[in-house]
Amino acid sequence: MSETVLRVEDLRTHFFTRSGVVKAVDGVSFSVRRGETLGIVGESGSGKSVTALSILRLVSTPAGKIVGGRILLRGDDLLAKSEKEMVKIRGARISMILQDPMTSLDPLFTIGEQLAEPIRIHQRHSTASVGGRVEEMLSLVRIPSPEQRVHDYPHQMSGGMRQRIVGAIALACQPELLIADEPTTSLDVTIQLQFLALLKDVQRQMGLAMIVITHDFGIVARICHRVAVMYAGRIVEGADVRTLFTNPRHPYTIALLKSLPRLGAETERLFTIGGQPPDLRHLPQGCSFTPRCTRAMDICSTEYPSQRDVGEHHFVSCYWNEKGEG
């Protein structure tokens, strides 16, 4: 069992707006181990990206505020650190890559210069060795002819290549944790697969702990070891990938998996989850999924179900499971 790199305990991030308090993340707990990939799945607005930003403490102030919980990076509580200390951690111990490769790189600098930047910020290297390191990183992400590519500008590269450069920048200082927020959503399907394979290899090589935020179960199946399903700011189910696909226990997870079209199945109509995601300013009492849940009971609308273990490394926040029905 490898060591835990990140442990998040009861994280709460709220946004204080004129029309109410938006509880974007409301009691989220999970952990990620070395060499392990955790997938965080959910609809838009479920709080996935805010969770990632909270870990990096980049939630937009003044509206956004982390109001509770602990974030432990190898035992260091990130919420207790000053901004100065966080600046040293970002890019060096925790890194992140974003969705859109077309705007992720500064158009005015060569990719060599942009790759060198995190190295210059966080590490002391002579100019010569920075160049060497840059080419090393380009080879790591499988960019051909790195010595020539170093002088290219972002607009001279395709989306897939740019996203790999973004990955290289994120990994330049060998962080302990990499967060990927919808890393393949903007890429062509074939490039997506390439990129995911690359991430997987790099993780193996570097012993990286990874969090992949996505709404795509296909990606989860491909590279995640464990999954957490988020709804309205909370994790409703968490399990190993295999377990989640074969034995989902939360009605939301079941519905999500049911709405995936399957090859060969004879369906005339695609299944959708009825209703709308809740207004995060006015969350209902009890479980937030109740209005859309086919298995809701009276107790569901009065009290939020706490996390229960339902198997090895498998937990759920749902009353329906407790009764052992279904």
Q: Does 89 bind another protein (CB under 8 A)?
A: yes
Q: Does 183 bind another protein (CB under 8 A)?
A: no
Of 21, 67, 87, 221, the one binding another protein (CB under 8 A) is 87
Contacts of 121 (CB under 8 A, 6+ apart): 91
Distances (CA, A) of 301 to 22, 45, 259, 297, 319: 20, 21, 25, 8, 11
Instruction: Tell me the closest approach of the beta carbon of residue 288 to another protein, in angstroms.
Output: 29
Q: Does 253 bind another protein (CB under 8 A)?
A: no
When the beta carbons of 87 and 254 are compared against another protein, the nearer one is 87
Of 10, 16, 20, 58, the one binding another protein (CB under 8 A) is 58
When the beta carbons of 55 and 202 are compared against another protein, the nearer one is 55
Cα gap 283→23, rounded to integer Å:
8
Instruction: Tell me the closest approach of the beta carbon of residue 180 to another protein, in angstroms.
Output: 12
Buried b (16+ CB within 10 A) or exposed e, 135-170: bebbebbebeebeebbebebeebeebbbbbbbbbbb
Q: Does 18 bind another protein (CB under 8 A)?
A: no
Stretch that binds another protein, among 96-104, 208-216, 246-254, 310-318 (CB under 8 A): 96-104
Q: Which amino acid is at 52?
A: A
The 3-state DSSP class for residue 312 equals coil
Neighbour-count burial of 209, counting CB atoms closer than 10 A to its CB (0-12 exposed, 13-18 middle, 19+ buried): buried
Of 46, 95, 184, 243, the one binding another protein (CB under 8 A) is 95
Residues lying near another protein in the complex (CB under 8 A) are found at 56, 58, 62, 87-92, 95-100, 103-108, 117-118, 121-122, 153, 155, 166, 169-170
